[in-house]
Amino acid sequence: MRLIIKPEKGFGKINAELNEDLAGKINRLSERYGVPVERVIKIALTGEFKEPTGDIKELERKVKELEKKAWVLEKEYSPLRFKTYGLSEDNKVLAIELSGLIAENSGLRRFLRLKPKHKPELRKLISYYLQG
């Protein structure tokens, strides 16, 4: 594997050839933790890695347990999100209808030569539901 390190500024760059064993280890780390190979190399060169402070197996077990709990909560939450989306769409349709009725009412008031009524709070409410 060929490694090329380019600086953020300037022209100098470093070329290095990594042996197959080291390249394989880097690729395995990348796949295991789901990060790009470049990130693994950067962590190794800058020393950003952290040593675990607890039992790795116990921490992995806790992570899996938390993932299961998260999926249970997602199953409960998903129907609520779907219902909320439906209500949001219904509110948009009602806001459009209300806007049309207000325009029609305004036109009728002009036709009857009555004073137009401006309700800015109603306009704000309609725009809120049309955006959301």
Tens of pLDDT, residues 15-57: 778 788 888 888 888 898 888 888 888 887 777 767 767 788 8
Q: What is the pLDDT of residue 10?
A: 73
Spell out the domain ranges in the chain.
2-46, 56-131
Task: Place 63 in a pLDDT band, splitting at 50, 70 and 90.
Answer: very high
pLDDT score of 95 more than 90: yes
**Cβ count within 10 A of residue 29:** 16
Token pair belonging to 2 = 């060929």
d(CA 123, CA 129): 10
Q: Is the pLDDT of residue 86 over 90?
A: yes
Q: How confident is the model at residue 84 (pLDDT cuts 50, 70, 90)?
A: very high
Distance, in Å, from the CA atom of 95 to the CA atom of 75, rounded to the nearest integer, reads 31
Instruction: Tell me what pLDDT residue 78 has.
Output: 92
pLDDT of the residue at 11: 76
In terms of Cα–Cα distance, which of 59, 124, 132, 63 is closest to 98? 124
Torsion angle of alpha carbons 67, 31, 35, 39, nearest 10°?
150
